[in-house]
Structure 1
Amino acid sequence: MSIQHLPNTASIAEAEAVVREHGHVIIDNLASHEIIDQLVAEMQPYVEQSPVGERPWGYKTRRTGRLMARSPVARDLVRHPLMLGLVKSLLSHAPGIQLAVTDMITLDPGAEAQPLHRDELAFGNFPFPPDYEVAYNVIWALTDFTEENGATRIVPGSHKNPLVDHSGDATVPAEMTKGSVIIFSAKIWHGGGSNVSTGPRRAQSFNFTVNWLRQEENQFIACPPKTARTLPEDLLKLMGYETIYGVGHAGGQTDPLAALFEDA
């Protein structure tokens, strides 16, 4: 088993073929260090205020959300053409996609390895068909990801048999350089590694789902209307300001985008 890498010149079709076969792909050096450093700088005050988690989700792990309200750089990064185009293509069997989670994840030194899991578990034990993808996670490396500092560990190919417990299988660290990104299926078994280094491992996670599922992070609350009204329409639709065959309207079949600006 090995981690699949593609250069940042890869096409959406090339990346999609790798993800469908292996359940994941790393696109190397997709964002510049300057962009990554600016994102970290914008979010650092909020990261410092974020509490550490509890076992099993990281007693030395800090998760900082509400990126659409807090970070202009994140608003651009979440719409990167190759990354977003890949996710849209992977979930093209649905009416559309939506942004479900925005987490900046900081693994401090001493953070223990996270138990292996599937991101589909965020929706309880609902029996999604094994061949129906409902979500993809996108993790940008804000520092180099190494085995030593807790690079995400995955079981390549486990998306093909998601209902089998792969927690005892051998995992592979998704090592990648700062500015690279890994996209993987919500069915694949994975978990954060243990950080035995002397510095933090930083990551930016964007989770996308088919747009008929409830968002894990409520974007309408996480990003207040006053801020939402300043954002571009394509981003607002990605955040959920869009109807699906009449579902998601703002009352009386009112378009949610129209309702957002109604009293502005």
Structure 2
Amino acid sequence: MDSTIDEAACRWHDALLRDGYCIIPDLVGEDAVAALSADLDPVFERTPLSEGLFYGNATRRFHGLLARTPHAAAFVGHPLILAIARAVLTECDAIQLNLTQAVELMPGAPMQPPHRDEEMWPLRTPGVEYLINVMWPFVPYTAGNGATLVWPGSHRREPEPSEAPVAAKMRPGTALLFLGSTLHGGGANRSPYPRRGMIVSYSLGWLKPYELPWLAYPPAVARTFSREIAALAGYRAHRPNLGTWEGRCPSFLLGCASVQPPGACDTLRPEQEAAIRAFMDMQQGPVRQEPR
């Protein structure tokens, strides 16, 4: 890892764990955001309004952004973002992409109910972070157009009822990171214009992700990804033997057109392999010495 990225990752990692969120300014160029946003413009236009109490009927949301625009990969695989995510999400063999979601808050959209994204999973271990969200704005986020609201420190405690959240004011190119344990919600859009942006989230590799990656990115699509992006998008077995296909790491599907794989091959962690070898050695017993 580049030493500059390593130092920056440590600094932002510490801020993220201290406050439950951090805002990294000018992380990518505005031209890169504009190119990504332009590719998604027609998708926004044809996407129906969402439904349900949580999403509300004044937002548009769609997923699978890696398959919709080649510009998404630079955001999903941003080296600093991945370094921070891997430093926080340590209770796994490898992190995974939880979702990519484009969001549009229409004028008049009300404030989203405050929530913690880790509540998607019914079991949690105190002190273990399950998820990191990254919000990338396509337009300036302001308190008036529905900037994401976060409650500082809420990953460690329940905020007081009178405690006001912080509106994450950002311009395109800046990124908001917040933990799955942090209380947050979209703000109300009181402006006359839509507020568009993108959420990319990463989770522990052994959790069921929000977005099923093999449906969002079947092998024919994933073959166009870099090795790192394909692994994040589900084409990597999580040791021991989770997320396999025919007993093999699903990355097999990216390098071979054959539908018939070789025999199953287990995928174990080093300490598991060592324990199995020790067990097998014990079963063999001591070597008998023949008399001379």
CA RMSD of aligned residues (A): 1.8
Q: Which residue does 2:35 correspond to in 1?
A: 38
Does the CA contact (< 8 Å) of 2:219 and 2:253 recur in 1? no
Q: Which residue does 1:143 correspond to in 2?
A: 139
| Residues 145-164 of structure 1, C-alpha deviations (whole Å, 9 max, x = no match) | 10000000111000012xx4
Matched, 1:197 2:191: yes
Matched, 1:132 2:105: no
Q: Which residue does 1:61 correspond to in 2?
A: 59
Q: Which residue does 1:250 correspond to in 2?
A: 245
Q: Which residue does 2:178 correspond to in 1?
A: 184
Deviation of residue 168 (structure 1)? 6.2
Within-5 A mapping of 1:106-255: 106-123=104-121, 126-161=122-157, 164=158, 169-245=163-239, 246-251=241-246, 253-255=247-249
Matched, 1:93 2:91: yes
Deviation of residue 165 (structure 1)? 7.0
Q: Taking structure 1 as reference, are residues 9 and 201 closer, same or farther at Cα in structure 2, changes over 3 Å only?
A: farther
Q: Which residue does 1:3 correspond to in 2?
A: none
Letter in 2 for 1:182: L
> Any gaps of 5 or more consecutive residues in structure 2?
259-292
Secondary structure of the residue aligned to 1:179 is: coil
Mapped to 1, the partners of 2:162 and 2:252 lie a distance apart of: 50
Does the CA contact (< 8 Å) of 1:23 and 1:158 recur in 2? yes
Letter in 1 for 2:143: E
Q: Taking structure 1 as reference, are residues 165 and 14 closer, same or farther at Cα in structure 2, changes over 3 Å only?
A: closer
Deviation of residue 201 (structure 1)? 1.1
Q: Taking structure 1 as reference, are residues 18 and 149 closer, same or farther at Cα in structure 2, changes over 3 Å only?
A: same
Letter in 2 for 1:27: I
1:76 to 74, 77, 86: 74
Deviation of residue 166 (structure 1)? 6.2
Deviation of residue 10 (structure 1)? 7.1
> Any gaps of 5 or more consecutive residues in structure 1?
1-7
Identity of aligned residues (%): 33
| Residues 133-191 of structure 1, C-alpha deviations (whole Å, 9 max, x = no match) | 01011101111110000000111000012xx4767642111111221101110011100
| Residues 12-31 of structure 1, C-alpha deviations (whole Å, 9 max, x = no match) | 00001101100110001111
Deviation of residue 9 (structure 1)? 11
| TM-score normalised according to structure 2 size | 0.82
Does the CA contact (< 8 Å) of 1:100 and 1:208 recur in 2? yes
Does the CA contact (< 8 Å) of 1:39 and 1:73 recur in 2? yes
Mapped to 2, the partners of 1:214 and 1:43 lie a distance apart of: 27
| TM-score normalised according to structure 1 size | 0.90
Letter in 2 for 1:60: A
Does the CA contact (< 8 Å) of 1:155 and 1:166 recur in 2? no
Structure ranking higher on relative contact order (CA contacts 8 Å, 6+ apart): 1
Mapped to 2, the partners of 1:99 and 1:261 lie a distance apart of: 21
Secondary structure of the residue aligned to 1:103 is: strand
Report the structure number with the largest CA radius of gyration. Answer: 2
Mapped to 2, the partners of 1:42 and 1:30 lie a distance apart of: 20
